Amino acid sequence: DAGITQSPRHKVTETGTPVTLRCHQTENHRYMYWYRQDPGHGLRLIHYSYGVKDTDKGEVSDGYSVSRSKTEDFLLTLESATSSQTSVYFCAIGLAGGDTQYFGPGTRLTVL
């Protein structure tokens, strides 16, 4: 398995609180991605990064921000969590120049 870890693996928080999810890779891949998965919607891209400090929005980026200060870490922040952000969040890494992506184990986030 590709060296991808996500932390925390499970989190319960309250509406209005900030939350940061971390994705860490040991593969030195250039691309990193954050997806969310919800019943009936499949996997949807939130944000992605194509290098240190280089990020771009995906299809469901509202309410989320990201940062990538070093190659191995990609952080996803919910500035003020809402119940609609209850979901399973997956991080993925990608080989430069290709769409082959390797996914982490996921973080289950519940916003009460």
Partner 1 sequence: DAKTTQPTSMDCAEGRAANLPCNHSTISGNEYVYWYRQIHSQGPQYIIHGLKNNETNEMASLIITEDRKSSTLILPHATLRDTAVYYCIVGGTSGSRLTFGEGTQLTVNP
Q: Which residues bind partner 1 (CB under 8 A)?
A: 30-31, 33, 42-45, 48, 50, 58-59, 90, 92, 94-106
104 or 111: CB nearest partner 1: 104
Calculate the CA dihedral of residues 38, 70, 52, 10 and round it to 10 degrees: 10
Smallest distance, partner 1 to C-beta of residue 88, A: 8
CB 74 within 8 A of CB 92: no
Token pair recorded at residue 46: 């939130």
Instruction: State in angstroms the smallest separation of the CB of 18 from partner 1.
Output: 25
The sign of the CA dihedral 26, 67, 59, 82 is: positive
CB of 100 to partner 1, least distance (A): 5
Considering the complex, state which of residue 15 and residue 28 has its C-beta at the smaller distance from partner 1: 28
